[in-house]
């Protein structure tokens, strides 16, 4: 759906035209299958590489509009977010040294992208979801400014009719709402394409569905989102929820989401998939040009099937069935969309080799997998793999109990993949190298997700969460540049984060987010007990709408209890009668230096960090003491270039003063 020749299906006339064109495309496809017009006995593979740009502070760098014009190669193209880019590789024959060729092409194109990115103070990073991504990074201002992205955003938002809701649970929990779909731009993947003969499409597609779970378990690389540790492959849950246009009523009647694993096994042909999608989902976009596919076909030509391909591009199956044309011959292919970007190029090619080998090596007894494995079990396997990674257990044909993912991969799937690659006559050295990487990764349990979580947890013991995230991303980049597979990596070190400004430069990097809050109608005595129990001196006060009213401090309580009238007055008083009349707040993008200057000028020992009227965190004197301790230690070791502070002190955020009171904010 990369073509700009699309229109929004917004009027009755456009909808009817696009629907008629889509029905014509389906009929043409049916005739092409009946007449055996598809390419056979030649098998090609392909790939799409998505990547993320990061700045010198290891955070998203929205530089696509600067970088892409300096990459005139058509293999490079845009993605939904300004901090992402996509590389489309040319198809290649599935034989010989195609896997090492794939690795070489990825190195070349990613090297080109890195060279241009550096001119704009950015780097290229391969990871499913960037651990340093913030909520503020997924605002519409970071959407790539192209018509098709604007159209998709408008349509999805209109269809939803209410904010998109996110609820993803892992070690931590993410519960939030967002009015736009740019959260989807958090995801970057490595998609692999596999061409199939029409006669083999049904068993091949069903087999692709079945083996997605062990593939996913071995390749996870997206365990964090906006600082939360969630699924081992959080992309799966995030993508489904970020483009879920169903409202509550549609959820009750089980309307199928646009992102899904599927609803059942394919029975007859690729037409089953397209017909089911059309029956379940509304048209969002259509072609601006009119092609009568039947006339083209009857005239001896090969139709492009524009309407069908555009519609298919708005349905996000994890294994997508596709129609295409190569060298004038139509073909069918399966696009595997579950694999994340990274951790390294060689890891990605190993993942591709594993999947392609399993596809080519499908044993005869699995030709009718639909009769041996319940579809709900296949779907459950996939979701467990995304959630638990190598810790997942699967239902598998011939077993009366669940099998651990490492056991299934090592004992059955890797031998199948090896046989498949041998059948495709892949170079023996390449088979040994790439499948050897999968084997060692599975045996050690060291996936990309595991490395990220282990590094983050190790760093968090002595440093803040934000420091740990920054150092982890820096560690990913440094190891990607070395190129060794992820199972050989040592954990990230705090020194990799670089300048102190990368870790402490902005106020949201040092603020406390694990907060206790009270309601403005709570009793003062209750607040006093909380402060005593939790050994804290500041309590944010919110109203019933969750908006910040002010901050109650230990000083406020001392003044209250030292007042003789209050001690003798039996009437119980509420928090809103005590909350400070003046509470200062800053936005999360305020520089730490400016926030500290504000606190000094106003004589504050606490500062609220807010997004609009809602509290995001607080910063106290204690937080600055902790920062000072780390800086002094690093200066003593000669690690921290303090003189770089000037660059960040120039970044000023908006500072607001709140007026307290009963209902004011």
Q: Is the pLDDT of residue 179 over 60?
A: yes
| Residue 306 placed within a domain | no
| Each residue's pLDDT tens digit, 228-239 | 999 999 999 998
Task: Tell me: pLDDT of 357 over 90.
Answer: yes
What's the longest Cα–Cα distance across the chain? 98
Please tell me the predicted confidence (pLDDT) of residue 571: 61
Single out the residue in 412, 442, 472 at which a domain terminates: 442
Q: Which residue has the higher pLDDT, 591 or 361?
A: 361
Residues 514 and 438 in one domain: no
- What would the two tokens of residue 145 be? 């400014």
In a domain, 437, yes or no: yes
Q: Which of 19-33, 71-85, 181-195 has the lowest mean pLDDT?
A: 181-195
pLDDT on residue 558: 87
Distance CA 525, CA 515 (A): 19
For 111, list phi and psi in degrees, rounded to 5.
-65, -40
> Are 541 and 415 contained in the same domain?
no
561-613 pLDDT, tens digit each: 887 555 556 467 888 888 765 568 899 889 889 988 998 898 888 899 998 88
pLDDT (mean) for 390-398: 96
Q: Which residues pair with 400 in a beta bridge?
A: none
| pLDDT (0 to 100) of residue 569 | 61
The residue among 406, 423, 442 that closes a domain is: 442
Supply the pLDDT for residue 656. Answer: 37
Specify if 355 maps to a domain.
yes
State residue 251's pLDDT score: 44
- Can you tell me the distance from the alpha carbon of 305 to that of 194, in angstroms, rounded to the nearest whole number? 20
**Mean local confidence (pLDDT), 495-518:** 83
Share of the chain above pLDDT 70, in %: 91
Are 425 and 569 part of one and the same domain? no
* Lowest-pLDDT range of 76-90, 265-279, 642-656: 642-656
Asked, for residue 289, whether it belongs to a domain, the answer is no
pLDDT at 417 over 50: yes
Does residue 1 carry a pLDDT above 60?
no
419 with 551, same domain: the answer is no
Query: Whole-angstrom Cα distance, residue 450 to residue 483?
Result: 18
- Residue ending a domain, choose from 425, 442, 459: 442
CATH code at position 586: 3.10.580.10
Asked if residue 561 and residue 430 are part of one domain, the reply reads: no
Same domain for 186 and 105: yes
630 pLDDT exceeds 60?
yes
Q: What angle do CA 523, 529, 531 make, to 5 degrees?
A: 105
Share of the chain above pLDDT 90, in %: 62
Burial of 380 (0-12, 13-18, 19+ CB in 10 A): middle
Residue 503 — very low, low, confident or very high, per pLDDT cuts 50/70/90?
Answer: confident
Residues 237 and 384: beta-carbon distance below 8 Å: no
Question: What is the pTM for the complete model shown?
Answer: 0.87
638 falls in which pLDDT band (50, 70, 90)? low
Q: What does the pLDDT look like over 296-350, one tens digit per residue?
A: 999 999 999 999 999 999 999 999 999 999 999 999 999 999 999 999 999 999 9
Average pLDDT estimate for 450-479: 95
pLDDT at 111: 98
Domain membership flag for residue 164: yes
pLDDT for position 637:
65
Helix, strand, or coil (residue 300): coil
471 inside domain: no
- 437 and 517 share a domain? no
Looking at residues 127-134, what average pLDDT do you find? Answer: 96
Beta carbons within 8 Å of 535's beta carbon, 6+ residues apart: none
CB atoms within 10 A of CB 401: 7
Q: Which pLDDT score is estimated for 26?
A: 98
Q: Is the pLDDT of residue 629 over 90?
A: no
State whether 345 and 206 are in the same domain: yes
Tokens for 662?
Answer: 């009963």
Q: Is the pLDDT of residue 643 over 50?
A: no
User: Residue 20: which H helix or E strand, with range?
Assistant: helix 12-34
Task: DSSP for 45-86, please give it.
Answer: EEEEEEEEEEETTSSB---HHHHGGG---TTEEE-SBTTEEE
The pLDDT tens digits for 324-334 are 999 999 999 99
Residues 6+ apart with CB under 8 A from 290: 17, 21
* Contact in structure between 159 and 187 (CB atoms under 8 Å): no
Q: Is 56 in the same domain as 169?
A: yes
Give the pLDDT band of residue 359 (cuts 50, 70, 90): very high
pLDDT reported for residue 653? 36
* Structural domain range at position 114: 38-261+318-360+369-442
- Give φ, ψ of 656 to 5 degrees: -130, 145
Task: Let me know whether 438 and 522 are in one domain.
Answer: no
Average pLDDT, the chain: 89
Residues 177, 44 share a domain: yes
Provide the terminal-to-terminal Cα distance of the chain, rounded to the nearest Å: 46
In CATH, what number is assigned to the domain containing residue 339?
A: 3.30.590.20
pLDDT of 287? 93
- Coil, strand, or helix at residue 614? strand
- Count of domains for the chain: 2
pLDDT above 70 for 74: yes
pLDDT of residue 655: 37
Identify whether 480 is part of a domain.
no
Do 616 and 541 share a structural domain?
yes
Would residue 639 count as lying in a domain?
A: yes
Whether residue 663 is predicted with pLDDT greater than 60 in this model: the reply is: no
Whether 664 shows a pLDDT value over 90: the answer reads: no
């Amino acid at each position: 759906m990369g073509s700009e020749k699309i229109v929004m299906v917004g009027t009755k006339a456009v909808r009817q035209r696009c629907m008629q064109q889509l029905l014509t495309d389906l009929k043409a496809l049916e005739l092409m299958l009946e007449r055996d017009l598809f390419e056979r006995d030649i098998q090609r593979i392909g790939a799409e590489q998505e990547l993320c740009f990061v700045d010198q502070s290891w955070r998203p760098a929205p530089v696509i509009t600067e970088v892409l014009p300096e990459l005139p190669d058509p293999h490079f193209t845009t993605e939904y977010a300004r901090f992402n880019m996509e590389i489309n590789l040319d198809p290649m024959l599935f034989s010989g040294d195609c896997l090492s060729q794939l690795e070489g092409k990825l190195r070349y194109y990613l090297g080109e992208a890195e060279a241009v990115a550096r001119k704009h103070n950015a780097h290229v990073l391969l990871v499913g979801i960037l651990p340093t991504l913030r909520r503020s990074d997924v605002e519409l201002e970071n959407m790539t400014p192209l018509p098709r992205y604007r159209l998709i955003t408008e349509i999805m938002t209109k269809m939803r009719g209410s904010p998109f809701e996110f609820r993803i649970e892992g070690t931590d929990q993410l519960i939030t709402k967002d009015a736009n779909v740019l959260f989807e731009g958090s995801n970057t993947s490595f998609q692999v394409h596999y061409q199939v003969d029409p006669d083999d499409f049904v068993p091949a597609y069903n087999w692709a569905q079945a083996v997605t779970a062990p593939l996913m378990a071995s390749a996870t690389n997206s365990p964090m989102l906006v600082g939360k540790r969630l699924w081992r492959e959080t992309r799966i849950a995030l993508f489904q929820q970020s483009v879920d246009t169903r409202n509550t009523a549609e959820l009750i009647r089980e309307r199928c989401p646009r992102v899904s694993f599927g609803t059942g096994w394919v029975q007859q042909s690729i037409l089953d998939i397209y017909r089911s999608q059309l029956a379940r989902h509304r048209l969002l976009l259509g072609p601006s040009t009119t092609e009568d596919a039947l006339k083209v076909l009857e005239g001896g030509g090969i139709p492009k099937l524009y309407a069908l391909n555009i519609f298919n591009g708005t349905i996000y199956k994890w294994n997508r069935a596709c129609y295409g044309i190569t060298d004038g011959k139509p073909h069918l292919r399966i696009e595997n969309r579950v694999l994340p970007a990274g951790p390294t190029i060689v890891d990605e090619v190993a993942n591709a080799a594993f999947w392609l080998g399993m596809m080519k090596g499908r044993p005869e007894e699995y030709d009718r997998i639909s009769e041996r494995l319940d579809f709900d079990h296949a779907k459950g396997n996939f979701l467990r793999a995304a959630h638990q990674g190598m810790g997942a257990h699967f239902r598998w044909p011939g077993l009366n109990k669940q099998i651990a993912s490492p056991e299934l991969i090592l004992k059955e799937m890797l031998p199948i993949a090896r046989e498949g690659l041998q059948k495709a006559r892949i170079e023996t050295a390449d088979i040994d190298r790439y499948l050897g990487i999968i084997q060692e990764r599975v045996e050690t349990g060291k996936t990309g997700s595991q490395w990220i979580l282990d590094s983050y947890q190790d760093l968090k013991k002595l440093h803040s969460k934000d420091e740990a995230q920054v150092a982890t991303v820096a560690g990913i980049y440094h190891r990607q540049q070395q190129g060794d597979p992820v199972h050989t990596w040592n954990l990230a070190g705090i020194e990799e984060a670089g300048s102190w400004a990368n870790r402490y430069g902005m106020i949201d990097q040092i603020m406390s987010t694990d907060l206790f809050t009270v309601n403005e109608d709570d009793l003062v005595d209750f607040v006093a007990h909380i402060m005593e129990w939790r050994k804290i001196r500041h309590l944010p006060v919110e109203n019933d709408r969750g908006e910040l009213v002010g901050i109650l401090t230990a000083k406020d309580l001392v003044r209250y209890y030292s007042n003789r009238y209050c001690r003798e007055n039996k009437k119980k008083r509420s928090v809103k009668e005590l909350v400070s009349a003046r509470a200062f707040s800053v936005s999360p993008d305020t520089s730490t230096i400016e926030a500290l200057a504000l606190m000094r000028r106003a004589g504050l020992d606490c500062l609220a960090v807010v997004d609009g009227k809602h509290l995001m965190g607080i910063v106290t004197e204690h937080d600055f003491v902790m920062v000072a301790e780390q800086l002094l230690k690093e200066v003593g070791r000669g690690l921290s270039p303090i003189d770089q502070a000037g660059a960040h002190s120039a970044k000023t955020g908006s500072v607001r003063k709140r007026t307290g009171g009963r209902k004011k904010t």
